[in-house]
Amino acid sequence: MTPSRTQPAPGAPVRSPGAADSLEDGATDAPPIVLIGLGNDIACDDGVGIYTAHLLESEYRHRDDVEVVALPWAGFALLDVLRGRRCAVVVDSLLTGRYPPGTIVRLDIDDLSGSVRLNSFHDISYPMVLDLGRSLGWEMPDDVSIFGIEIDVADEFGEILTPAVAEAAATVVREVKRSIDAMGTSIDERVVEL
């Protein structure tokens, strides 16, 4: 088993835990915890999930029980990443206009409004990913924490986050680290807001 790492962007070789590590009985040897950052790292604040994944990678690169994955999309891409996991954390940008930029909102599977990627019209939604995986007989995580970070600038090219959004990413990393370190794989259920 390789140590945790952040997966590269599209076009680069990507290890698919659900497919590459499949065992004969249909199980996987993927680490039980996966930390997923979603985003577009060349669209300013919309890259906050990818940025958060890189910060988490720095914290967990030496742990075999944690894998960090950066994805520019959700939908079907999440299917293999979530397969065989006990616990998952997902970070995505929010574009609701209801909160000041940098606000962290704990999303729930029944209300993903504002999530840029988990509720997309261009791919299957996050709830459909879980249902599809389970209907295929795959083990899918029951313990999933979804953090949405309200963003400010998403319609411009750039690789730098606005200060409030960058600070929110650091706050999410501290919360995830505190939860994993203190409680094993149990993630705190509170809503985090700046």
How do the pLDDT tens digits run along the chain, 194 residues long? 333 334 433 332 223 333 334 444 445 577 889 999 999 888 889 999 999 999 999 999 998 899 999 998 888 889 989 999 999 999 999 988 899 999 999 988 878 877 777 776 667 888 889 999 999 999 999 888 999 999 987 778 888 999 999 999 999 999 999 888 764 544 444 344 43
Full set of structural domains in the chain with CATH = 32-183 (3.40.50.1450)
Which residues have a Cβ under 8 Å from the Cβ of 150 and sit 6 or more positions away? 93, 94, 95, 96, 98, 99, 100, 101, 102, 103, 104, 105, 114, 165, 168
Residues paired with 87 in a beta bridge: 33, 143
**Cβ contact 192:145 at 8 Å:** no
Predicted local distance difference test score (pLDDT) of residue 15: 33
Question: Which residue type does 92 have?
Answer: D
What CA–CA distances, in Å, run from 148 to 53, 62, 189? 13, 26, 14
Give the containing element (helix H, strand E) for 37: strand 33-38
Mapped onto helix, strand or coil, the DSSP state of residue 94 is strand
Q: How many angstroms separate the CA atoms of 139 and 16, rounded?
A: 15
pLDDT of res. 191: 45
Of the CA atoms within 13 Å of residue 42, those in its CB half-sphere come to: 2
Per-residue DSSP letter, 158: B
Instruction: Output the pLDDT for position 27.
Output: 54
Q: What is the pLDDT of residue 17?
A: 38
Best CA proximity match to 56, nearest among 30, 83, 37, 79: 37
| Per-residue model confidence (pLDDT) at position 108 | 83
Q: Give the separation between CA 38 and CA 180, rounded to whole angstroms.
A: 20
Q: Could you tell me the CA-to-CA distances from 129 to 52, 136, 148, 164, 176 in Å, in that order?
A: 22, 11, 18, 31, 23
